[in-house]
Amino acid sequence: MTTDEERQAELQRLISRSALEWRLTFDAIAFPLLLVELDGRIIRMNEAARDLGGVSYEGAIHHPLAVLGEGHPWRAVRWLLAEVAQTDRRASTQTRGEDGRTWDVSVSPVLGPDRDRWAVVVIVDVTDTVRLQERLRRSETMSAMGGLVAGVAHEVRNPLFGISATLDAFESKFKRRTEYKRYLEVLRERVERLNLLMRQLLDYGKPSRLDLGEACPHEVMTSAIVACAPLAHQAGVEIAHEADPSLPRLVVDRHRVVQIFQNLLENAIQHSPAGGRVFFRAQAPEDGAAVRFSVEDGGPGFRPEDLDRLFEPFFSRRRGGTGLGLSIVQRIAEQHGGEVVAANRPEGGAVMTVTLPVCYDGDGRLTSQHPRL
């Protein structure tokens, strides 16, 4: 082999090695990264992008973005590409997919080797960060509102007690006067409704400090079911429960967690038809770090436009509802480092899912040790 041939072979080897190093580096980037033409045709994409799009390298290269799917974040990428094609400036947005994940998407114009107009697409999953920010904002808002409503509830409770005592005295004095009976019934129903609102306002305004201790998930579920049994019997609704026998014990404020499930079961019963069934289930994810509880009903389910508002204080579609029940549920769950999610069942009805970490110290930190089983 001549010297020129050796140089050519060495150059070819270096080029191949550089291409391999570039591809390995590109694939090692943890977030989806693509190089595309401005019409959306894919030039290069890393492994994270292929995983997100569910395609192979050969199945995507030189194909349009449509091969990656029609949902977000790809839909946002197409919007931004159209904007970059017009302005020749970087464009970015934050978008939320149908699965609830949130993405930061940016598209930056670049010139190709032959001065072709290309674009670099960067997609970053910021779901956890966004949820943390939302939780922090909600916690600050709820803390401020909690102090306010608790103060109002305390001020209103004393006059209510006086009204209730006056009604007792009136009924005792005029109990033989049947013409007063219907007025007394109406007044008592209104006073009881106000008392319920005051109790919920005080619950909503309770300090966030928890009385933590070990609790068995089965016992917590049973306590909530027993508390809701009279309401279920009156409504003609059955409560069916099912729990994994190997569930780990939780470190929680037992009274407050029972309140979560009592509120959810009461909601499910109230929205179920007579003769219906409410399912109360618990299972542990594979990592064993949490317990996931769900309450499912066979009612009409949630309106799609209401799903983002369900946990707002005082939002309710139910006649006579205070709109605080789900807000209290969310607050207690988040105080335990957990979360609550509302959704509709494919077969009809609503499902509320509460996930509670096995070990939590009440100050925002997961502990390293599991409680005794």
Distance CA 260, CA 210 (A): 14
**Percent of the chain surpassing pLDDT 70:** 83
Helix, strand, coil fractions of the chain, as percent rounded to 5: 50, 20, 30
User: What is the tens place of the pLDDT at every residue in 54-91?
Assistant: 888 888 888 998 888 888 899 999 999 999 999 999 99
**Percent of the chain surpassing pLDDT 90:** 28
- Amino acid 186: pLDDT: 83
pTM for this model (two decimals)? 0.56
The separation between the first and the last C-alpha atoms of the chain, rounded to the nearest angstrom, is 74
Q: Are 357 and 337 in contact (CB under 8 A)?
A: yes
User: What is the tens place of the pLDDT at every residue in 210-240?
Assistant: 788 899 999 999 999 999 999 999 999 999 9
- Phi, psi for residue 303 in degrees, rounded to 5: -70, 135
Measuring CA to CA, which residue among 142, 104, 107, 138 is closest to residue 123?
Answer: 104
Collapsing DSSP to helix, strand or coil, 41 comes out as strand
> How many helices (H) and strands (E) in the chain?
9, 12
Please state, rounded to an integer, the average pLDDT across all residues of the chain.
82
Using the predicted structure, report yes or no on whether residue 366 has a pLDDT greater than 50.
Answer: no
Collapsing DSSP to helix, strand or coil, 16 comes out as helix
Least confident of 45-49, 162-166, 180-184, 281-285: 180-184
Distance CA 99, CA 267 (A): 25
* More confident site: 266 or 131: 266
User: What is the tens place of the pLDDT at every residue in 247-277?
Assistant: 888 999 898 899 999 999 999 999 899 999 9
* More confident site: 329 or 306: 329
- Amino acid 368: pLDDT: 43
Instruction: Select, from the ranges 201-205, 304-308, 351-355, the one with the highest average predicted confidence (pLDDT).
Output: 351-355
Using the predicted structure, report yes or no on whether residue 287 has a pLDDT greater than 90.
Answer: no
Distance CA 226, CA 237 (A): 14
Q: Which domains does the chain have, with CATH numbers?
A: 31-125 (3.30.450.20), 126-207 (1.10.287), 210-373 (3.30.565.10)
Q: Report the relative pairing of strands 33-37 and 250-252 from DSSP bridges.
A: unpaired
